[in-house]
């Protein structure tokens, strides 16, 4: 199964991660999540695959987050997923999914363990 990159072509880290994958001979499925927004259930699955804290998937410097009037720590997994589903720009990027694992490409090299 091919890895999938949740990609924003305007983001330099996302572009760097895509190029890194390609340099390793991997041509991933590209999901431009701003054009094809995820459902709340898809975001919850991403949170589970990445593991750790659901807040890691949330971009809190975006105006859409500030408009929520909350701190990251005020939000549980379901609220994080709901916020990202409603405002996909809030999704940390890029995220690479390979099988039952996923990693945030910050730095891009953080996704390399998924290729093994």
- Which residues are catalytically annotated? 11
Tell me the pairing of strands 95-98 and 101-104.
antiparallel
Q: Are 75 and 58 in contact (CB under 8 A)?
A: yes
- Structure tokens that stand for 13 in this block: 């880290």
Q: How far apart are CA 18 and CA 82, in angstroms?
A: 27
């Amino acid at each position: 199964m091919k890895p999938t990159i949740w990609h924003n072509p305007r983001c330099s880290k996302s572009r760097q991660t895509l190029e890194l994958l390609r340099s390793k001979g991997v041509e991933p499925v590209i999901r431009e999540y701003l054009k094809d927004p995820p459902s709340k259930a898809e975001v919850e699955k991403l949170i589970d695959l990445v593991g750790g804290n659901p807040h890691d998937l949330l971009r809190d410097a975006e105006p859409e987050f500030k408009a929520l009037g909350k701190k990251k720590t005020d939000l549980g997994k379901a609220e994080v997923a709901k916020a990202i589903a409603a405002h996909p720009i809030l999704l940390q990027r890029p995220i690479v999914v390979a099988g039952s694992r996923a990693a945030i490409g910050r730095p891009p090299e953080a996704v390399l363990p998924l290729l093994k």
